[in-house]
Structure 1
Amino acid sequence: MQSLVKRLNLDPYVLALLSTVLLASLLPAQGIWAPIADRVTDVAIALLFFLHGAKLSREAIVSGAKAWKLHAATMAVTFGLFPLIGLALRALPGIDPGLGTGLLFLTLLPSTVQSSIAFTAIAGGNVAAAVCGASFSNLAGIFVTPLLTALLITGKTQGISSDPIITIASQLLLPFVAGHLMRPVIGPFVHRHKKLVGYVDRGSILLVVYTAFGAAVLDGLWHKVTLGELALIVVIALAMLAVVMSAIGVLGRALGFSREDRIVMLFCGSKKSLASGIPLAAVLFPAAQMGAIILPVMFFHQIQLMVCAVLARRFAAETERLAGAPAPQ
C-alpha cells in the first residue's frame, strides 16, 4: 500500500482525510456515541493547545502578539477580500438565490482556529502568531459576521450568544496558557518528543472532520443536494480558495513578511470556520433556510482542510530541507 501511494504521488494525510470523510458518511457517530465523539474531539483539541503552549517560549508569544501588521493583513483578507468575492458570486447570472446567499454567508465567517494553528505548526510557520491571529479572528467574527450579515444579507441585526466566546476561552486559550505556565516542568519533554505534537496536530484535525461531517450526514446531507449542485459548490470552493491563496501570496511578499509569517497568513487568512458558521447561521437565519445556507460552508470546510493538508506537508518538507534534515515520510 505504501509503495502504491508513493508511485501515485499521493499525500498520505489527504488519504487519511478522505478515509475519515468516508467513515463519517458510512458510520457517523450517533446515539450514545455522538457525545462521546464530541468529547474526545474537544479533549484532543485542548491537548493540542496545551502542548503548543508548553512548546513556545515567552519571547515567541510576545513576538507573535506584537505582529499587528500581520494580523491586520490577515483580517483584511478574512473580512474584506472574501466578502467581495462572495458579493461577486451572488451576482453571477444563473446562480440559485439560496446557493448565492450560502456562498456569501460563507465568505463572511471568521477563520478556523485549531486547524489554522495545526497546519501552521506542521508547515513550520510562526505558531505564536497563528495562535494570536486565529483566536482574534474567531472572537472578532462573533461580532463582525453578524454585522456583515445584517448589512449584506438579512438587512437587520440579531442577538448573538456568548457561548462561542466561552468555548474559545475554555477549550483553546485556557489550555494554551496552562501549557505555557507548565513549560518549565514539561517543556524539555515536549521538545524531546516533537513527533508527539505532530500526531496531536494531525489527529485533532481528523477528529474534527469526522465529527463535523458525520453530524452533517445525520442531518440528511446526501438527500439535500443534487450531484450538479455538489459539483458546482466544489468548483466554486476550489476557485475561491485558489484566488484567495494567490492574493495572500502576493500581499505577503509585498508587505515584506518572513516565510514563517507568510505561512501564518496563508493558513489563517484562507480558512472559514465551520464550528462558528453553523451556530451563527442558526441564530441569524430561519430554520427553513439553514440547509442551503450551511451547505457551502460544510463543503468549503472539507476542501480547505484537504488543500491545506497538501500545502502544509510541502512546506514541512521545504522546512526540513532548509534545516538540512531529511523530510518526514
Structure 2
Amino acid sequence: MTDLITQIVTPTTHDLGQFEVRRVLPSKARQMVGPFIFVDEFGPGQLDIGTGMDVRPHPHINLATVTWLFQGAIDHRDTLGTFSTIRPGTVNLMTAGRGIAHSERSPEDERSKGPMLYGMQTWLALPDGKEEIDPAFEAVSDLPKIEDKGVTACVIMGELWGQRAATTTHADTIYSEILLGPNGSIPIDSEADERAVMLVGGEATIGNCTLTPYELAVLKPGETMTLSSESGGRVMLLGGEAFTTRRHVWWNFVSSDRERINQAKDDWREGRFGKVPDDEGEFIPLPDVPKTVSYP
C-alpha cells in the first residue's frame, strides 16, 4: 500500500469465451466501497456474427443496478414494462427496491454485425429505510462533462468537480468515467467517505502510484490527489457514503436482513416477481450454489 492507496482488490476473472468479466466486489478482501456492493467490468470483446449476449429474466431486491457502456448496446426489459436500449453515454439505473425482474440481451441490429461488449455493471445497496422502496427505472443521457488539461470526465452519479448528475441517488454516491489524453491530469475530489478507482483501459497513475488494469484501488479518505496519464487511459471513479449496517449478498439479492433474502428465494421459485413483457419464454432458475455470496 501507499500513502494514497489503502487497499488493492484484485478481480476474479471469468473467461466467457469471446470476452472476459472481471469482478472486484464483493470479495473476501472487501465487501463495499460506499454504496457499491457489486462491481463487474466486462470486455472489450466482440462476439461472433449472429450471436449475442443473452441474460435471461432474473430477480433483484434491495439494490439498484447501474449499467454503463463504453462500447456496444444492450436491450433492457423489466417487470415494470420498461424497454430501453443501453448505449454509451447513457446511464441506466434500475432500482429493485422491494423486487423487480429484468433481462439483458444484445439488440438484433448488433447481432447482425457481431456485438461489441465493453462496460461496467455495478450494484448499489439501498440504505437503511429505503431497501423496500417501489421499483423504478430511469435512463439519463444529459450528464455533466468536465474538460480540462487533456481530460474529459463524465459525472454519471452524484456531484464531482462542482457538477451534479441528474441520476437518482438513494445514498450519497459518486460515479464517473474519466478519459485521460496524453499527459492529461485531473484532481480527485476528497469529500466522499469512501472512494476507489479502476483502470479499465490504457495507463494511469494516482499521485506517483501506477494503477494496474482492472484492480480496484481504494483511496485514502479525505486526501486530495491527482489522476494522470502519460499516454492516455480510461479510469472509473466510484464511492460515496460508508454504510454502517452490514449487507448480505446471495445470488442477485442484497439485503440487511438474511430472512428477506430467503423470502426472495421463495418468491422467485413461486413466480411472484411477475413476468418480463416480451421476454416471457424463459428465465434463470434459482441456483443451488450462487456465484455471488456474502463473505465472512
TM-score class, shorter: under 0.3
- TM-score normalised by the chain length of structure 2: 0.25
1 or 2, which has the higher strand percentage? Answer: 2
1 or 2, which has the higher helix percentage? Answer: 1
Higher relative contact order at CA 8 Å, sep ≥6: structure 1 or structure 2? Answer: 1
